[in-house]
Structure 1
Amino acid sequence: MNATDRIPFGATGLMMSRLGIGGGSLASAAGEGGVKAVVDAAWDAGLRYFDTAAYYAGGESERRLGLALRGRKRDAYVLGTKTGRYLLPDGTDRFDYSAAGTEATIRTALSRLHTERLDLVFIHDVQPSLHGDAYEAQHALALKGAFPVLQRLKAAGVVGAIGVAMRDPVPILRLLQEAPFDAVMLAGACTLLHQEACEALLPHCVATGTPVLFAAPFETGILATGATPAARYRYKPAAPDLLARTAAIEAVCARHGVTIAAAAIRFPLLCPAVKGVVVGHQAPSELAANLALLAAEPPVALWSDLLAQGLIRAIPA
């Protein structure tokens, strides 16, 4: 697999590289100069999808990515952002899926990113684990507030495709069944540690031709490093049971001559609906490493062995 090959992203008309540059951890830790270095390295390698969100680093991700991309031919790359979830200066979250809030977010994103259009806009994190008792109201507002605004902006050429982005596959599927979304960004639920999306969401996306971008294939660390004492899982130290399971997966990978990182980054791409993986890179060296991982081809027997040993529940297909 050549990660720089650009393939059709469903029926959106966009051409997507297999590896996307994620702006979450990138903007938070790499700083303005680090973001530019990674973007420059990605560009030189031939990668052309750049992902960000209003939420990441309180908007700094959009601003830094905009500066790093400024001056490049706009038709040469695909740019995505997200709306609805925001990080306040005190570190707390704010959610706003209203029509007015969505319109304001898009105006701000266009300014920060120094562009006149956004190729992909995802409604961000409409999931019960984040909203609790307010989930039903927030779900309804996303459909009645944010979505119609994005449809209008799409008709005006300001927005390309409209998607849903979150970790939980169940509310994603609900939104897809209730409105004509163009795309999905799934962060988790189809990794070597979790395969919940294989139960209903990914089969639905295959059946309907809905393209998927997969984010966080390494579960924020542990599936890149393996079961080391310092391994992190979803931004926190990994629990003993996860370390043990990861070590078992790692051992099977080793028997097939594959690193756990190479298996992890390729696993979601087994599903034909998944068109690319999006990873945050702190430095050009990390980018080079992930390009090399995607170039590796794990043997088919690896997946069947993991399934037979009960280390994964399903193979995405």
Structure 2
Amino acid sequence: MNAAALFSSPEMRFGFGASGLGTLTWDIPDDVAQAILEEAWAAGFRYFDSSPLYGFGLSELRLGRFLRNVPRSDYMLSTKVGRYFVAPKRGEIPDRGGWVRPQPLKPVLDYSYDGVMRSLEQSVNRLGQGAIDIVYIHDLDRRNLGEDFNRHYKTAVESGYKALDELRRSGEVKAIGVGLNEADVAADLISDCDLDVVMLAGRYTLLEQPALESFLPKAVEKKVSVVAVGVFNSGILVKPPEAGGNYDYGAAPEAIIARARAIAEVCAEYGVEMPAAAVHFPYGHPAVKCVLVGMSKLKAVRQNMDWYKATLPAPLWQALKRQGLLAENAPTP
């Protein structure tokens, strides 16, 4: 289907990312996770995205528990495939990755037909949902796969994609896509597979726009919808640090800190909070149909919605371009 239709209503244009519910940054209790989801619903969020990876299934369990109590027709739901979970062997302690307190399970990376089907079956059980609107192949990029990238890419394209295409053709899912961090890989994937949507993390933001070169023009050509995530570049576009700080899942280099500070200064000149500009910027590109942000603190829910609803002055974007802080060819809201 034309995935753009999924994002045509205003309430689907700004989404809730549930990675934090899997204890990504802190050991969030069940009651706090529930309160965050209740606040998100009250604030107007209606697109919810999760993944088996987030807390090794914990995010999906928490999200599913909340969604059972709201009308299914009122929201859109997406999750991801590429990993399923098994019980660890006795005495085995699985690597927790970046999760503070995930479920005591062991992830198995598998982009094959059977692996994708098993992953989605587990997700459906955790979410308690008979229908998932969008399913993304998760983390199919060099950052995550390293020297095994080519092997996994081939498996995903030749095997795992076929599973999702069958589910789409049967109507069991409305749209299929990929969720990843690298724009060049995204460009290759929409050439090699008939995808509806790409969730791209951190590569088309107020801080940097490498996706402009090859991926976004191809997405427009192929009518692939783009969901922009990681729009704060791991937090540096919320408040630039003096040193270190979070950028692209790690410590920020000094040049990146300096660039973020310069962007913040221009935003301040126009009376704009930099995070609001970060949320709004991706919408300027015709391929971008939705921006999705992650939240693991109650106060962040309303704050993110306020940034989304803010009205920004048009001259801000030209000012950023004049100072070389925004690509000259970047379309703006």
- In structure 2, the residue matched to 1:100 is 114
TM-score by length of 1: 0.90
Contact 1:27 1:35 in 2 (8 A): no
Structure-1 separation of matches of 2:33 and 2:171: 28
Tell me the residue number matched to 2:4.
10
Residue 169 of structure 1 corresponds to 183
User: CA separation of 1:226/1:54 partners in 2, compared to 1, >3 Å: closer, same or farther?
Assistant: same
* Cα distance in structure 1, aligned partners of 2:58 and 2:330: 34
Q: Distance in 1 between matches of 2:315 and 2:240?
A: 20
Q: CA deviation at 1:9?
A: 4.5
8 Å Cα contact 1:270-1:315 kept in structure 2: no
Equivalent of 2:20 in 20, 25, 30: 25
How far residue 231 of structure 1 moved from its aligned partner, in angstroms, is 3.5
Distance 1:116 1:262, change over 3 A: same
The CA distance in 2 between the partners of 1:33 and 1:155, in whole Å, is 39
Structure 1 residues 13 and 197, CA, compared in 2 at 3 Å: closer, same or farther? closer
Aligned to 1:201: 215
Runs of 5+ consecutive residues of structure 1 not aligned to the other structure: 1-7
Q: 1:245 to 1:206 in 2, by over 3 A?
A: same
CA-to-aligned-CA distance 1:171-216 (integer Å, 9 cap, x gap): 1111101111011101111112210011121122223321111111
Task: Tell me the equivalent position of 2:102.
Answer: none
Flag the 1:186–1:310 CA change in 2: closer, same or farther, 3 A: same
What's the secondary structure of 2:55's corresponding residue?
helix
Secondary structure class of the residue paired with 1:225: coil
Alignment partner of 1:153 is 2:151: no
Superposition deviation, residue 134 in structure 1? 2.2
- Aligned ranges 1:1-317 → 2 under 5 Å: 9-11=3-5, 15=9, 17-28=12-23, 29=26, 30-85=28-83, 89-91=94-96, 94-229=108-243, 231-314=245-328, 316-317=330-331
Moved more, 88-97 or 212-221: 88-97
User: Separation in 2 of the partners of 1:128 and 1:230?
Assistant: 24
Q: Provide Cα deviations, 1:202-259, integer angstroms capped at 9, x if missing partner.
A: 1222233211111111112110123345732234333322221111111111111111
Identity rate, percent: 35
CA contact (8 A) 2:84 2:115 kept: no
Q: Which amino acid aligns with 2:260?
A: T
Alpha carbons 2:209, 2:327 under 8 Å: kept: yes
Alignment check: 8 A CA contact 1:226 1:260 kept: no
Structure 1 position 58, deviation (Å): 1.2
Deviation at 1:25, TM superposition (A): 2.1
| 99-108 or 196-205, larger mean C-alpha shift | 196-205
CA distance in 1, matches of 2:161, 2:8: 20
Deviations for 1:60-99, whole angstroms, at most 9, x for unmatched residues?
Answer: 1111111121122212110000111468932257521011
The one-letter amino acid paired with 2:34 is K
Q: Which moved more, 1:174-183 or 1:37-46?
A: 37-46
User: Deviation digits for residues 134-183 of structure 1, max 9, x if unmatched?
Assistant: 22221111112111111222233322210111010111111101111011
SS at match of 2:4: coil
What secondary structure does 2:56 align onto? helix
Q: Secondary structure at the match of 1:129?
A: helix
The answer to which of 16-25 and 174-183 deviates more is 16-25
1:105 and 1:284, CA in 2 relative to 1: closer, same or farther beyond 3 A?
A: same
Task: Tell me if the contact between 2:198 and 2:226 (Cα under 8 Å) persists in the aligned partners.
Answer: yes
Aligned to 2:91: none
2:83, 2:116 within 8 Å by CA — same for their partners in 1? no
- Number of positions where the alignment pairs a residue of Structure 1 with one of Structure 2: 310
- How far is the alpha carbon of 1:23 from its aligned partner? 1.0
Q: Would the aligned equivalents of 2:142 and 2:149 in 1 still touch at CA under 8 Å?
A: yes
1-side partners of 2:31 and 2:289: how far apart? 29
> Is contact 1:49-1:77 (8 Å) kept?
yes
Q: Identify unmatched segments of 5+ residues in structure 2.
A: 89-93, 98-106
Kindly state the Cα deviation for residue 14 of structure 1 after the two structures are TM-superposed: 7.2
Aligned-partner SS, 1:115: coil
For 2:103, the equivalent position in structure 1 comes to none
Q: Deviations over 1:256-284 (max 9, x none)?
A: 11111111111111112211111111233
